[in-house]
Amino acid sequence: MMEEDSSLVIAAPEALPREAAARVHTSEYLKDLDGDEHTERTQASELPLSRQIVNAYYLATAGTCLAAKLALEHGGGMNLSGGFHHAYADRAEGFCYLNDVAIAARQLQKDHGVGKVAIVDCDVHQGNGTARIFEDDGTVFTFSMHQRDNYPMFKEKSDLDVDLPNGVGDDEFCEELSGALERISNDFEADFVFYLAGVDPYENDQLGGLGVSIDGMRRRDRLALEWCRASKTPVAVVLAGGYAFNTDDTVRMHCNTYHELESVIGQ
């Protein structure tokens, strides 16, 4: 289902084909997700294992795939979910059963002729699953800027990692991001960008330890999205993490991300 006005397309995803998930995840792991009891491959999700929950992950992943498809058509798209970057090809971790961005990236490459994909992950936690999935793949550039002393305690090696010390505030955070984006531009020519706009770098996040304000989070979004616009690269945005003590703050920051995307795409 799709609704459209002069500036906004609102669409609901259809069910994700099983073969789309199988391009990233192992058959053994996907079989485990069909079960009703945890296995050694699912238990690190820290979530219950049920058909309802797993179906929600499949639907959210379909949303990321749809946002990517719409981004190809309109320059940008946003899924009001997604960013499950802790899921590995063969196991769950950290509230993540499926790696939606990895699945959507493969779908772009296999079904839509996209060559090189950059993944820009600004969640407070490193995208360890994504880094491992694409560790030997020269067609996908993985970048993660995250808090050094936070989950996951064992960090995978992305193509570019920026480990931030505790308490980093607006200016240093945005300076680090700006420098990293410049390095990506010098090293990789992306045909498509996925932007994980986690809002857990926020200073009042329950699971974070950085010191970025709400205004700083919006500056971050503008930096990342203007970088995409400058190179005329389509971008799909996913929400990723956000656990503010005040839920209204989380909602406000996610809304700001959307408004920044709308502003950039409208230029």
Tokens matching residue 137: 């793949």
Rounded distance between C-alpha atoms, residue 178 and residue 112, angstroms: 30
User: Is 86 noted as a catalytic residue in this protein?
Assistant: yes
Alpha helices in the chain, H assignment, sequence order = 18-22, 27-33, 51-74, 100-111, 128-133, 170-187, 214-230, 247-265
Pair type for strands 192-196 and 235-238 = parallel
Of 86, 125, 146, 254, the active-site residue reads 86
3-class secondary-structure state, position 6? coil
As a whole number of Å, the CA-based R_g of the chain is: 17
List, in sequence order, every residue forming a beta bridge with 10; answer none if it has no partner: 3
Q: For residues 224 and 182, is the Cβ–Cβ distance under 8 A?
A: no
Rounded distance between C-alpha atoms, residue 260 and residue 240, angstroms: 16
Q: For residues 223 and 68, is the Cβ–Cβ distance under 8 A?
A: no
Tokens matching residue 203: 């200073």
Residues in CB range of 233: below 8 A, 6 or more apart:
118, 190, 191, 192, 193
Alpha helices in 25-50, H assignment, sequence order = 27-33
List, in sequence order, every residue forming a beta bridge with 147; answer none if it has no partner: 164
Catalytic sites, residue numbers: 86
